[in-house]
Structure 1
Amino acid sequence: MRRMLTCLLLSLPLLASAQIYKYTDAKGNTVFTNQPPDGSAAQSVELPPTNTVIMQQPQATPTGSAGAEVNAAPPYNTLKLTGLPDDEALRANNGTFSVGVALSPRLAASHRLRLLLDGQPYGQPSSVPRLQLTNVDRGEHSLAVEVLSGGKPIQQSDAVTFTVQRVHTSSPALRPPPPPKPAP
């Protein structure tokens, strides 16, 4: 039984490589067969080689004790905030302003961006590289952006320190000038 099964398995490649013939029957139909017909002119069909796929072995990544990847390259070569002044205060009277995020390559569909204002998460994660801050208090702040994958941070930009300048609405500079005095 085993010998017969082995012979059968060894003959399968021979069957797969059998010659194929093509001819047109009396009704005008094209026919493909493995035996040439009697009395008809049949053409031998050359088949292209079969497709083969070589399976690549998965590469093992070194993991730490908690299962996190060690020495993994960050997914983005460039990740930084743009649109913040370097040497001067950011004037935002109501504390609302937006910042840009420069990243390369483009943000992956499964990744999101979230701001870190003074080291704390700020706002909802977004896939848009322009993020808005609302009602930020006056004074000095630090701001960074982090990339999230599945809600977990995978990369973070350097923190940028900046100062928000807000003019108080009761400021004398905002009061209208007094009306001119009539001439005597």
Structure 2
Amino acid sequence: MIVSTLIAPTAAFSQTVYTWEDENGVLHFSDSPTASKNAKRAKTLTLPDHQASAPAPSFENLPTDPSGTPKANEKKKKPTARPEPLSLSFQSPQHDQTIRSNTGNFNIAAQQNRKLSVDEHLQLLFNDSRYGAPNTTGKWQLKNIDRGTHTISIQAFRDGKLIASSSTITVHLHRASIK
């Protein structure tokens, strides 16, 4: 003869949690206050009912004219103003500057007339190709560049669209040659 017993849990999820810190400083959580010898130090946390529904949303009633549109004397939202046009130039190096670096490393610093917006970034163009990742600082460190004459410019983008460009400058990199 087989005897089966059905035990129904009293709650699907416990609404009370017990927490304590052991002698090693590790934080423990349990649904039973006697799960540890540190039960006397256990703190009780009561969780909100997970099955409760959110309250219904409420909407502000705006006074309307007979046509159903908000009244003319109500405050209208001002459209967000675009920032002033961005202009870019080079802080360093200067146009036609000779740079002496045996490692081929040198720094680029942009100068702009205003701070960049959140959705704007700068891209360095070195010899008409993108160099490095776009950034918002306007500073780049070029590494192991071959000696010779190079062109550099900076472009600014907002949401993927070109919004400003610097003039193109030329620099001359001198590196010691090994014979």
Q: How high is the TM-score relative to the length of structure 1? A: 0.50
- 1:52 aligns to 2:62 (yes or no): no
Alpha-carbon distance between aligned partners in 1 of 2:104 and 2:75, rounded to the nearest angstrom? 59
Q: Which structure's CA Rg is the greater one?
A: 1
The correspondence for 2:113, drawn from 98, 104, 118, is 104
Instruction: Assess, with a 3 A threshold, how the Cα gap between structure 1 residues 117 and 88 changes in structure 2: closer, same or farther.
Output: closer
Alpha-carbon distance between aligned partners in 1 of 2:77 and 2:97, rounded to the nearest angstrom? 57
Percent identity among equivalent residues?
A: 26
- Read off the aligned partner of 1:94 and give its amino acid letter: T
Contact 2:147 2:172 in 1 (8 A): yes
- 1:162 aligns to 2:171 (yes or no): yes
Contact 1:74 1:155 in 2 (8 A): no
- Read off the aligned partner of 1:54 and give its amino acid letter: K
- 1:125 aligns to 2:147 (yes or no): no
- Read off the aligned partner of 2:144 and give its amino acid letter: N
Cα RMSD (Å) of the superposition?
Answer: 3.1
Instruction: Assess, with a 3 A threshold, how the Cα gap between structure 1 residues 140 and 130 changes in structure 2: closer, same or farther.
Output: same
Contact 2:88 2:110 in 1 (8 A): yes
- 1:94 aligns to 2:76 (yes or no): no
After superposition, residues 57-76 of structure 1 pair within 5 angstroms as: 75-76=85-86
Shift of 1:163: 0.3
- Read off the aligned partner of 1:164 and give its amino acid letter: L
Shift of 1:74: 7.5
Shift of 1:150: 2.8
Shift of 1:56: 6.0
Whichever structure has more helix as a proportion of its residues is: 1
Alpha-carbon distance between aligned partners in 2 of 1:149 and 1:128, rounded to the nearest angstrom? 15
Shift of 1:153: 2.6
Q: Which runs of 5+ in 2 are unaligned?
A: 1-63, 66-72
Deviations 1:6-47 (A, max 9, x none): xxx99xxxxxxxxxxxxxxxxxxxxxxxxxxxxxxxxxxxxx
Deviations 1:122-170 (A, max 9, x none): 11101112111111111111100011223343221100011011112x3
Instruction: Assess, with a 3 A threshold, how the Cα gap between structure 1 residues 120 and 86 changes in structure 2: closer, same or farther.
Output: closer
Alpha-carbon distance between aligned partners in 1 of 2:152 and 2:79, rounded to the nearest angstrom? 42
Contact 1:81 1:100 in 2 (8 A): yes
Aligned residues: 108
Match of 1:67 in 2: none
After superposition, residues 71-86 of structure 1 pair within 5 angstroms as: 75-76=85-86, 78-86=87-95
